[in-house]
Structure 1
Amino acid sequence: MTRLNFFKYLTIVSGLTLVFIGCRFLLQPEAAEAGFGLHFQENGDYSFHYIKGIRDLGYGMIVTLLAAMNQRKALMVVLLSSIFVPVVDMTLVLQATHGNVMTAMPHIIAIVLIVIAAAGFHFSAHPLTRKQLSMPV
Structure 2
Amino acid sequence: MQRLTKQINWWLCLLSGIGLLFIGARFFFHPVGAEIAFGINTPTNGDFSFHHIKGVRDFFFGFIILLLLLKKDFRILGYILLAGTIIPASDFITVLSYQGRITGYLYAHLIAAIICAGCGLYYSLSAAQH
The normalised TM-score by structure 1 is 0.85
Match of 1:89 in 2: 91
Mapped partners of 1:62, 1:11: distance in 2: 11
Name the structure with the higher helix share.
2
Mapped partners of 2:49, 2:23: distance in 1: 16
Q: Which residue, 44, 54, 58 being the options, matches 1:42?
A: 44
Q: Which aligned pairs between 1:1-137 and structure 2 lie closer than 5 A?
A: 2=3, 3-121=5-123, 122-123=125-126, 125-126=128-129
Q: Which amino acid aligns with 1:87?
A: A
Mapped partners of 2:102, 2:92: distance in 1: 10
Q: Is the 8 A contact 1:22 1:56 kept in 2?
A: yes
Deviation at 1:101, TM superposition (A): 3.1
Deviation at 1:6, TM superposition (A): 2.7
User: Stretches of 4+ moved more than 6 A in 1?
Assistant: none
Cα root mean square deviation, aligned: 1.8
Q: List per-residue Cα deviations over 1:1-40 (Å, max 9, x = no partner).
A: 9232331222011111000000000110011011000001
CA radius of gyration, larger in: 1
